[in-house]
Amino acid sequence: MAFEPPQRLVRALGETAPDGDDWLEKLPEAARRAVELRELTVERVQLPGGRSSLVVLVRRPDGTPAVLKLAPPRARPESERAALAHWGGLGAVQLLEPFAAEGVLLLERLHPDVSVRSLPEAKALLEAAGTLRRLWVEAPGGHVFETVAERTGRQAGAMRASAAADAEVASLVDAALAAREELLAAPPEDRLLHGTFRQSKVLAGERAPWLAVGPDPVVGECAFDLARLVRDRVEDLIASPSGAATTRRRVKRLAESLDVDQERLRGWTLFRAVESGVRALRVGRPKDAELLLEFAGWL
């Protein structure tokens, strides 16, 4: 079978590496080799798929359904592998291969078309938050995961450059960077975090109702992880006349339900929304940027 990358993946990788590389060019052959090595039977490529990897629904030699995932180095697949191994299936998808194959992961098959986002909003937030809580564990000793300070430091540099070129977003960027500096001064805990958690990253499973997928793990405080969940369904929030009030209630409710400091959650939500909005501007997605920056202004 041909392993053509979905257009969503092609577009997203073009944003993260505008000068291009040869990963997409080599992907069909890499997928073919990965399938042959494991003696897998291919069912289909998952569409529309993710923004950082090719996901193929397969069956193992004994007929067990599984997922073959191939990701470029910039998506940090080895970091994902290490986090999934550490979680051991508790709250997250199970890693099926004990050995490392560069850029290739064989994973437990969940229900790829059923995410927690399919639930009514209040129920979806509750289930997503409960899943996230299970992932917040001590990082393994001697880990090589990126820290929140390191990741946001890289992002802060890009944000400053964008603010210098766009006066309209400069005040929000200044507020976000100030919040980051204050938050990093005295973090309350260090935990292994999912890193890119949102409702669409929680899929229905067989051995547990809901399990997280697609981590970009990072080590730091829990409020950083929870902050991305606050702005889930941002397009609905922006469209609502009570969007600003709903956002503030959501911050309060999520903070209380997961024992996270409300002001720290608000601060990280601000930083992450502004960072995403500025990045959307930079890669030519003005509508997404407008939504994110308006949301950030409510915080």
Predicted local distance difference test score (pLDDT) of residue 17 = 60
Q: Which residues of the chain have pLDDT under 70?
A: 1-2, 15-21
Predicted local distance difference test score (pLDDT) of residue 52 = 87
Residue range 115-297 forms a domain whose CATH class is: alpha beta
Phi, psi dihedrals of residue 280, rounded to the nearest 5°:
-60, -40
**Residue 144 corresponds to which tokens in the numbers above?**
């090589």
Cβ atoms of 261 and 227 closer than 8 Å: no
Predicted local distance difference test score (pLDDT) of residue 2 = 66
Cα→Cα distances 67→58, 59, 201, Å: 6, 8, 15
Predicted local distance difference test score (pLDDT) of residue 206 = 94
User: How far, in Å, CA of 77 to CA of 74, rounded?
Assistant: 8
**Residue 195 corresponds to which tokens in the numbers above?**
């890193």
Predicted local distance difference test score (pLDDT) of residue 149 = 97
Q: What is the largest CA-CA distance in the chain?
A: 59
* Fold type of domain 7-109: Phosphorylase Kinase; domain 1 (3.30.200)
Predicted local distance difference test score (pLDDT) of residue 14 = 73
Residue 177 CA to its chain's centroid (Å):
21
Q: Please give the share of the chain, as a percent, with pLDDT higher than 90.
A: 81
Predicted local distance difference test score (pLDDT) of residue 20 = 56
Predicted local distance difference test score (pLDDT) of residue 187 = 94
Cβ atoms of 34 and 101 closer than 8 Å: yes
Q: What's the pTM?
A: 0.93
User: How far, in Å, CA of 251 to CA of 262, rounded?
Assistant: 7
Predicted local distance difference test score (pLDDT) of residue 182 = 97
Domain boundaries, the chain: 7-109, 115-297
Predicted local distance difference test score (pLDDT) of residue 132 = 97
